[in-house]
């Protein structure tokens, strides 16, 4: 049994750890503990609960209203790792500056970033959004259609990214990707980027934006980008979505082509 004296000796260290990592404790509470309680209580997934809120509070056909409803839910009710409004401004700007006609999104999740990208696309553009989780894809489909985007603008593909990328040309007629947004499993960032490099779908000037490269982080992906010589790149520093105090960032890559 630990004596009171020893316990008191460790108290300053414990308090220091709690203060230093307080935002991570908040993230664990909001992303894990709250989710477990609501999962048991409602029998619905976190994404389905978020959609119920959006359906009740957003205006059909109004992408901005839908994003606002999501942002309220994720910041005030339950944490969902959408790109969020602050990093979303960077995504909006990059899409508008590049005016991409063919876009690939890896990681639809519940459709937040899909709607965010689709509302900024030029006329005639097409967005292929890939989600491997069928249950999340059902929610995303509803969100995308509620926002007013049809199959001609956004095509949702329910399959793992490593199965979709090699078939984009054959099954979907994609000849070039102007913009790629990565926000799926971080361990997939590097193999999927290398698969895109080998597919011939990236052309000079193609832009790739990868979220969460600082937290949870994608070090192997960043290392490849720096060493390959295939890209101009920069990392946009930001806080983690809906949680202040946790540093994160997005990597913006511009493909230079094979030398």
Q: Determine the Cα–Cα distance for residues 52 and 38; give it in Å rounded to an integer.
A: 14
Q: Which of 105, 131, 183, 192 is catalytic?
A: 183
Q: Which of 82, 178, 186, 192 is catalytic?
A: 186
Tell whether 25 and 153 lie within a shared domain. no
Query: Mean pLDDT over residues 117-135, rounded?
Result: 97
pTM score: 0.92
Tell whether 66 and 175 lie within a shared domain. no
Query: Mean pLDDT over residues 240-258, rounded?
Result: 93
Q: How many domains does the chain have?
A: 2
Relative to beta strand 102-106, strand 177-182 is parallel
Among this protein's residues, is 76 annotated catalytic?
no
Q: Determine the Cα–Cα distance for residues 71 and 73; give it in Å rounded to an integer.
A: 5
Tell whether 169 and 60 lie within a shared domain. no
Among this protein's residues, is 186 annotated catalytic?
yes
Tell whether 43 and 150 lie within a shared domain. no
Among this protein's residues, is 183 annotated catalytic?
yes
Tell me the residue range of the domain where 224 lies: 84-255
Task: Name, in order, each residue with C-beta under 8 angstroms of 155's C-beta and a sequence gap of 6 or more.
Answer: 126, 127, 128, 129, 172
Tell whether 55 and 116 lie within a shared domain. no
Query: Tens of pLDDT along 111-122?
Result: 999 999 999 999
Contact (Cβ atoms closer than 8 angstroms) between residue 238 and residue 249: yes
């Amino acid at each position: 049994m630990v004596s009171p004296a020893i316990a008191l000796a460790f108290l300053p260290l414990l308090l220091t750890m709690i203060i230093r990592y307080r935002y991570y404790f908040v993230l664990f509470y909001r992303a894990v503990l709250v989710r477990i309680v609501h999962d048991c209580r409602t029998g619905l997934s976190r994404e389905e609960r978020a959609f119920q809120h959006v359906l009740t509070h957003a205006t059909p056909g109004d992408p901005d209203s839908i994003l606002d409803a999501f942002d309220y839910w994720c910041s005030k009710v339950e944490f969902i790792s959408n790109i969020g409004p602050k990093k979303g401004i960077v995504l909006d700007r990059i899409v508008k500056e590049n005016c991409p006609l063919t876009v690939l999104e890896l990681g639809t999740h519940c459709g937040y970033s899909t709607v965010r990208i689709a509302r900024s696309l030029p006329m005639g553009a097409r967005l292929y959004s890939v989600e491997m989780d069928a249950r999340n894809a059902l929610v995303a489909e509803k969100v995308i259609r509620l926002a007013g985007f049809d199959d001609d603008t956004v095509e949702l593909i329910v399959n793992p990214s490593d199965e979709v990328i090699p078939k984009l040309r054959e099954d979907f007629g994609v000849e070039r990707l102007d913009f790629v947004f990565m926000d799926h499993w971080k361990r997939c960032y590097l193999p999927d980027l290398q698969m895109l490099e080998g597919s011939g779908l990236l052309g000079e000037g193609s832009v790739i934006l990868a979220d969460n490269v600082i937290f949870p982080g994608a070090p192997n992906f960043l290392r490849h980008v720096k060493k390959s010589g295939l890209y101009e790149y920069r990392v946009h520093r930001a806080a983690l979505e809906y949680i202040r105090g946790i540093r994160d960032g997005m990597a913006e890559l511009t493909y230079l082509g094979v030398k």
